[in-house]
Amino acid sequence: MLHFHKEGAVSIVLASLVTVAIIFAADHFLKEHYWVMKGVQVLALLLLIIILQFFRNPNRSIRALEHTIVAPVDGKVVVIEEVMENEYFKDKRLQVSIFMSPINVHVTRYPISGKVNFSKYHPGKFLVAWHPKASEENERTTIVIENEAFGEILYRQIAGALAKRIVNYAKQGEMVTQGDDAGFIKFGSRVDLFLPLGTKLNVKLNDKVKGNQSIIVGELV
């Protein structure tokens, strides 16, 4: 069964109402121009389908495992490098960045189980998601989760050129479960993971990953 994310409820209802209105209006005002009428109606339906696919929320339940880090989002691995993380750790970390295209699922999921030690929203710019400064200058949220297997892991939701709203459900001090719904990036575009140096990865540049399915670190047992 197809599921949709709750953040898309208003958009889906509005899009459905507009689509119905356009179809009936075209039938009333353009009935003497059959192919124009059909073209307008088909275009309205296509726009509705785009909205529906954007807010889809596939059911991807896996057994939460403390010794694995799963991909928090769908997308493509575009960065793997050692960087200076200046907001929380203030030292070098291994950054893994996943870029989401408009056709990817935009649900964010917790990459590990553990305690949320930090959760902060930052307003900012809307540079393209692959811009080197996007991680520090764009609208973003920073979340740090800690467990026994990995210590503290930071992930950052980053808005891109089209994204205008990031939704983050993580609250400082709460316990979260790997794979649970952690938020949504509306028309947005990138999530960065910051891992301890020397972490052995199961992914490489340009790999395509799926949220809550692809194992970034560790192995299923």
Three-class DSSP category at 209: strand
Q: Which of 97, 113, 119, 189 is catalytic?
A: 189
Residue 188's pLDDT is 58
Element (H, E) at 72: none
CA distance 216 to 206: 13
Q: What does the pLDDT look like over 160-199, one tens digit per residue?
A: 766 567 889 999 999 999 999 999 887 658 899 999 999 9
Q: What does the pLDDT look like over 91-147, one tens digit per residue?
A: 999 999 999 887 888 899 999 999 999 999 998 777 766 666 777 778 899 999 999
CA distance 124 to 114: 28
Q: What's the mean per-residue pLDDT of the chain?
A: 88
What's this model's pTM, rounded to 2 decimal places? 0.85
Q: Say if CB 213 and CB 140 are below 8 A apart.
A: no
Residue 11 among the catalytic residues = no
Handedness of CA 73, 170, 215, 77 (dihedral sign): positive
Task: State both tokens at 19.
Answer: 């689509």
CA distance 126 to 129: 8
Q: Say if CB 205 and CB 80 are below 8 A apart.
A: yes
Q: What one-character-per-residue DSSP string does 26-37 give?
A: HHHHSTTSHHHH
Residue 129's pLDDT is 64
Phi then psi for 195, rounded to 5 degrees? -115, 160
CA distance 78 to 81: 10
Sequence letter at residue 172: Q
Task: State both tokens at 98.
Answer: 């996943």
Q: What does the pLDDT look like over 198-211, one tens digit per residue?
A: 999 999 999 999 99
> Which among 113, 194, 117, 213 is positioned nearest to 155, based on CA atoms?
194
Residue 132's pLDDT is 66
Helix axes 9-29, 34-54, angle to 10 degrees: 180
CA distance 193 to 70: 10
Element (H, E) at 84: strand 75-85
